[in-house]
Each structure stands twice: as structure tokens, then as C-alpha cells.
A and B are shown apart, each in its own frame.
Chain A
Amino acid sequence: MKKPFPIGAIIFGVLLCAWTTYVMLDVFVIVRPMQTNATEMNLSMFASITPSPTPIPTATPVPVHDPDATPTPEVTSTPTPTPTPSHFSEEVIATENFYSNDHLAIEISEYREHNTQIHVAEVWVTSAQYIYTAFAKDTFGRNVYETPSEMCKTKDAVFAVNGDNYGSREGGYVIRNGVLYRSNKYEQTSRDVLCIMADGDFVFTSYYMANAENLLNIGTWQAFTFGPVLVDNGEIKVDVNSEVDLCFVTNPRTAIGMIEPLHYVFVVADGRTEKSYGLSLYQVADFMLRYGCKKVYNLDGGGSSTMVFQGRVINFPTSYGSYYEREVTDIVYLR
């Protein structure tokens, strides 16, 4: 008797491959918009906030990173926030590295540590309501993408970094501009949640501790689900060993830190190139702690890490081994 022809195995193999192709398309390609024109802002939570004394920044000239220039020499001194703030400006002041208006001041600087170019934006706002977020194409959904610089144009933003890439996941709290878009939990339960409260404070929580509706009710203006928490109450919360499961090597990074309420630091570190290796989570935490941040949260990194200032991408996003501004699902922006 001859060996039987494996027709059943062939049919099953084809079906399995077809199913896997569909799953991969669902993960990476198929666009699933859940809410278009998602631009609502719920400012009601700011009605009860008493304006705090205005923190006042100063414009200090800092070197600008030139893509063709030799990398900035390694910095050994501790990075420090601008020491003596002076004022927000009634009129718009915009230089290459500084921007201010009556409610916002942004100062851009650069550092080089661990063979990595680190772009820092120190930000002062008169109210947390000026920390905005936006969805790609103003659409809340899965696999809806747009480049940060395109989103900046649409939103007339002065400054932006990539967000938490909520749109590539099916779960995780999403509260944006005071509106709750997603309240289901992320399957990876270790994810920390960052809440930017209406009073400007950063609150870290997790699914074990709070549900999304409650977070909104207590005045959460923005909630991100990525993490992990890098620094909390002035203490580094990651170490070389604890980050192994997430990512133990150097990579491009985006992180947001709070020196004090209404005084923030956005950091984007370039990576995956010979000119700039990238940072580990611990190195980001250490840098931002030395910068003066009391609380630091890691946002989506890798090829997504992008910083846009006055319409220009000022870092060097890398994807697939080359400079390339990757499309993302959301940004944090200022205007």
C-alpha cells in the first residue's frame, strides 16, 4: 500500500496560514475607527482649579542639533533645569530654541550621554489644560496613523512628542483632553497608568488601584497606558534587572517628567544608530532624575520617538535602520 496523499494536512495548512495572515493584518494594517472627529475637550474639571502663582521661565540660548554636524561632545556634568525663570510673554516670542506666549514657555536643549543624543524640552504652563493630546487624523481607533509633524500642522501646535501608541493595542485606559475614550484594561497587567491631573500633578496608578471612570471623576485631564513609571517621588523605579522583560537594551526613548506641577520635562533620546545608541530605561530615569524630575513616565519609544518643535522634527527618528518619521496614533502637544 502506498503512502496516503496528505490532502487533509495541506488544506489545514492553507487554512492556518490564511488565518494567521488575517490576524497579522488585524494587528498591523486593518483600520478600525471607533470615533471620528474625536476633538472634544472637557474643560469643566478646570473650573474648580485655583490658578497657582505663575512659574516664570527664562530664554537661554542653547545649541541646536544639526544632523550633519559632529555629535555634541559627551556631557559629564549633571543636567539642570533652567535656574531663574523670569516671565511668560504677553506677545509670542519664538527663537530657534525657545518659545513663549502668555500661558506657555518651552525651552529646547540637547545633551549627550552614553553615546546618545538626548533632546530635552523644558516646559512651563499656567494650567494643565495647555497640555493637549491629539489622535491621528482626529480619529480614535485602531491602526489609525499620522506623523507627529502632520498632526502638529493640523493642531497648530508649537511642540509635540509621540504619545503612548494607544491605537496599536486593544486595551488600556485612554483619557484625552478630559474625555474618556477607553476604559478596558490592557492584558499585560504590569502596565502603569500616568494621569495628568487638572491641577498639573502627575499621578501614577494601575488597573488594580483604579478604574478609568473614577480617574476621570477625580479630575484626570490626560491618561496614558504605556510605562513603566521610571521615577516616582524622586526615586528611580526601574533597574537594570527589572527591565529585562520589557527591554534591556538601549533604544530610542520618549519620556515625560514633572519637576513640579505645571513645570514639565519632555525627553526624546535618539537611538539605533552609530551616532546615537539610545538609552535603557534606567538611563532615562537617571538622566531625568538628575534633571530635577520628581516623577517620570516612559511613553512609546523605538521608531515612534519623535520631538517636533515649531514645525520641525528636531530629533532623528529611526525605523528599519534609517532616519524616518514614523506615523503614530497619538501625540502630546503644546500650543
Chain B
Amino acid sequence: MGSERTRRDQETAPGAIDRIIHEPARLMIMSHLAVVESADFLFLMRQTGLTFGNLSSHMSRLEEAGYIRIEKKFVGKKPNTILNLTTRGRNAFQQYREQMKQMLDKELN
């Protein structure tokens, strides 16, 4: 429990690169969600090319961090999972992009 918390703190410590977003699959999910209002699970799976299991686990990780909101509902008789970015997620993603840009600029200069 304690080590999990430490890991999470390290991942989101101020000034550090957000490790939750930095993972390529999660970055892809966040990028897709950043440009839409919401998308369902299948759409994200198709767009990102992730497998069902992969997307599910990354989705849970992002939800745990409070970056995405997951809404489960029914369309007719079929279950449907809708995902969207929370305000916290949007801010974290924006900050991540700025940090990455700054880092790249520094590298280039």
C-alpha cells in the first residue's frame, strides 16, 4: 500500500515528467481523448490499435489517477463504456506536453 503510494507520488511529483501519461499506450489514449468530447471503448480500441486487455488495464490506470472518467451504460440491450478526460486529466496532459516541449527545446539548443 505504502510502496504503491510512493510510486504514484513519484509518478506525479511536481516538476517531474508525469509517468502515468508518459507510457506510450496511455499517451496515445490521452491524446485521442484530448481531441474529442468523449469516445466509447470500441472506438478507442480501433483508433489506438490496442488490444482489449491492454486498453482495459491502461484505462483503469488512468481512471485511478483521476485523469479519465468512465461511464458504463446500456445502448439498447448492449453494454457500452464511454470514456472522457476529466479537467484534472486535461490539465495534466497539457502540462505534460509543455514539459516535453521544453525538454526537447533544451536538447536541441
Q: Do A and B bind each other?
A: no
Spell out B's residues near A (CB within 8 Å): none
> Which A residues contact B (CB, under 8 angstroms)?
none
